[in-house]
Amino acid sequence: MSLEENKAVVRRFTEELNKGNLDVVDEVFAADCVRRGASAEQQGSEAFKRSLAGLHTVFPDWHSTNEDMVAEGDQVWVRWAGRGTHRGEFRGVAPTGKQVTMLGVRTYRFAGGKVVEHWGLANDLGVMQQLGAVPSREG
């Protein structure tokens, strides 16, 4: 696939997740894909779907936007922003009803037309501060 085709797949993935369509994971990610983050590694598209379902349980109105996107070789890098209302437990914090904004970066590596590796980092600390669970630094 070309760089533009890979970017189009990532854009479609984001758009479908915003609609709550978790089946898009099966279309975009290889069944044995590896998903890595700051604290965990998951194997397989089913584990990824469970993680995304959990996100939508905590923030049912979750909406993510791709703020910047760069593609090179077999990879696409995205700087993203997500917004949602805190309606479920998040990192031990009971629902607050507060609107939060989460920022992050993702890397998608493609092979055979599907994502085979995904790296994701998000500012969970910033979300915890927005929820009032962690003091924010003033100044």
Q: What is the pLDDT of residues 63-103, one digit of tens each?
A: 999 999 999 999 999 999 999 999 999 999 999 999 999 99
CATH code of 3-130, in short, is: 3.10.450.50
Token pair in block for residue 109: 């590596």
| Residue 19 CB coordination number (10 Å) | 9
Task: For residue range 13-41, list pLDDT tens digits in order.
Answer: 999 999 999 999 999 999 999 999 876 77
Is pTM beyond 0.75? Reply is: yes
- Tell me which amino acid residue 136 is: S
Q: Does position 139 have pLDDT exceeding 70, yes or no?
A: no
Q: How far apart are CA 69 and CA 93, in angstroms?
A: 32
Domain ranges of the chain: 3-130
What are the beta bridge partners of residue 35? 42, 118
DSSP state letter for 38: S
Of the candidate ranges 39-53, 77-91, 110-124, the one whose mean pLDDT is the lowest: 39-53
